[in-house]
């Protein structure tokens, strides 16, 4: 229950912070909506391709603050997704093994 609550909180905040980034980069750097969302995700997950980078001073300053605030949130959001998929797979393998043992 608590874990579901935490993931829902993470989902909510992730959506919120990506919306802010998308809106900011669209307005200030003049990129398209998808490009601005794409850049926000690429930045806060620390992938950082560099195909889009802020050219204005406000954009660079915002990006510094955006990373400080958002990086921990996106790492926190992405980690349980991976764990969930691995745990699912693990359960499946272990059930099969139990069957073979009996």
Instruction: By CB under 8 A, name the binding residues for a copy of itself.
Output: 5-6, 8-10, 12-13, 34-35, 37-38, 41-43, 45-51, 53, 57, 60-61, 63-64, 67-83, 85-86, 89-90, 93-94, 97
Letters for 31-60 (x = contact with K ion by CB under 5 A, - = none) are -----------------x------------
Find tokens 């926190």 and name the residue: 76
Residue 30 or residue 48: which is nearer to K ion going by CB?
Answer: 48
Find tokens 């560099």 and name the residue: 50
The C-alpha atoms of residue 19 and residue 33 are separated, in whole angstroms, by: 10
Find tokens 């909180």 and name the residue: 9
Token pair listed for 48: 């950082």
């Amino acid at each position: 229950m608590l874990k579901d609550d935490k993931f829902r909180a993470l989902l909510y905040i992730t959506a919120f912070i990506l919306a802010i980034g998308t809106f900011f980069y669209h307005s200030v750097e003049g990129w398209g909506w998808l490009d601005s969302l794409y850049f926000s995700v690429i930045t806060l997950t620390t992938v950082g391709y560099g195909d889009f980078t802020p050219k204005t001073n406000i954009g660079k300053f915002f990006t510094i603050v955006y990373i400080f605030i958002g990086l921990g949130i996106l790492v926190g959001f992405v980690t349980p997704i991976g764990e969930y998929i691995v745990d699912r797979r693990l359960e499946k393998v272990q059930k099969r093994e139990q069957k073979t043992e009996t």
